[in-house]
């Protein structure tokens, strides 16, 4: 009886383990930082992306942090320093991956325009 219970447990546990989709930790971190940005917690999103970039730089993380910093600049009384930081992030992102794009439905049109300006050498 004990053996049957153990076998049943192993079968159930195995099935659950197999059913779990593989989640890339970097993608999960990126998603979490994006959700903080989308919810309006731009400072938290900036901190999360900066931490990600310190441990493992990626084009997507630079791109998102650029979007976050552009937003911070637009909400700031003194936008220039943060706007410069956003531009640097977009440049770093494009250097790593030229095909990057900001979806026009998910990001503000003026942010998309700023990103495209940086892509075109602005």
Partner 1 sequence: MSGVAAAVVLVLAIGAGGTAMLTRAHRVRHRARAVQASVMTTSGRLVINAYPWANVTSIRNVSTGIAVEIDTSFVTPSAVDLAPGRYQVMLANAEYGEPVQRVIDVAPGKEASINVQFEDGARAPLPDLEGESR
Q: How far is the CB of 17 from partner 1 (least distance, A)?
A: 25
Which lies closer to partner 1 via its Cβ, residue 8 or residue 102?
102
Residues 6 or more apart whose CB falls under 8 angstroms from that of 34 comprise 45, 64
Q: Is 105 in the site for partner 1 (CB under 8 A)?
A: yes
d(CA 93, CA 68): 14
Q: How far is the CB of 52 from partner 1 (least distance, A)?
A: 13
Q: Is 92 in the site for partner 1 (CB under 8 A)?
A: no
Q: Which DSSP string do the residues of 30-55 spell out, in sequence order?
A: HHHHHHHHHTT-HHHHHHHHHHHHHH
Candidate list 12, 27, 84, 95; residue touching partner 1; CB under 8 A:
27
CA distances from 79 to 4, 10, 70, 98, 118 (A): 67, 58, 9, 26, 17
Q: How far is the CB of 54 from partner 1 (least distance, A)?
A: 20
Site residues (vs partner 1, CB under 8 A): 27, 30-31, 34-40, 60, 63-64, 71, 74-77, 97, 99-112, 116
């Amino acid at each position: 009886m004990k053996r049957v219970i153990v076998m049943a447990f192993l079968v159930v546990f195995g099935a659950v383990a197999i059913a779990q989709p593989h989640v890339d930790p970097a993608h999960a971190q990126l998603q979490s930082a994006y959700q903080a940005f989308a919810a309006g917690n731009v400072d938290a999103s900036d901190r999360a992306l900066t931490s990600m970039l310190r441990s493992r730089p990626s084009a997507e993380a630079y791109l998102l942090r650029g979007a976050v910093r552009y937003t911070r600049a637009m909400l700031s009384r003194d936008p220039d320093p943060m706007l410069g930081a956003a531009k640097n992030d977009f440049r770093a992102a494009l250097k790593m991956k030229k095909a990057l794009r900001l979806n026009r439905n998910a990001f503000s049109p003026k942010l998309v325009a700023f990103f495209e300006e940086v892509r075109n050498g602005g």
